[in-house]
Amino acid sequence: MKADYEEHDAILIARCMMQIKAKFDTDKGLNFIQQYYINQGLKKFGDDEKDAVDKELRQMLLRDCFTPKFVKDMTASERKKAQSAMMLLAEKQFKKTIYVA
């Protein structure tokens, strides 16, 4: 399957990839972070990490990233336009759980 990108999209994707590589490329090689879906992450890291998730969601709400709505209150048109999101948790090397979008 071939993906067609506009030039500015391809440049943006390449810059993101370079930033990711620069962040994780160390003298020991690449480091990879294991990510977990929210339910799996909370089981692995414990209920204490609910505070980290709560903090991230509050930040997104305060910055007007989105307005939460119940699906039952949405019209059919709104449901079609709605963007799904995944919450992932990852554990940093210094053993602090972070939220990854």
Look at 73 and 93; give whichever has higher pLDDT: 73
Whole-model pTM? 0.45
Q: Which pLDDT score is estimated for 101?
A: 52
pLDDT per residue as tens digits for the range 81-92: 887 777 777 766
pLDDT at residue 73 is higher than 70 = yes
Residues 6+ apart with CB under 8 A from 41: 49, 88, 89, 90, 97
Domain membership of residue 37 (yes or no) is yes
Range of the domain at 73: 33-100
In the chain, the number of structural domains is 1
72 pLDDT band (50/70/90 cuts)? very high
Domain membership of residue 16 (yes or no) is no
CA atoms within 13 A on the CB side of 6: 2
Domain membership of residue 49 (yes or no) is yes
pLDDT per residue as tens digits for the range 25-66: 665 665 667 788 888 888 888 776 788 888 888 888 888 887
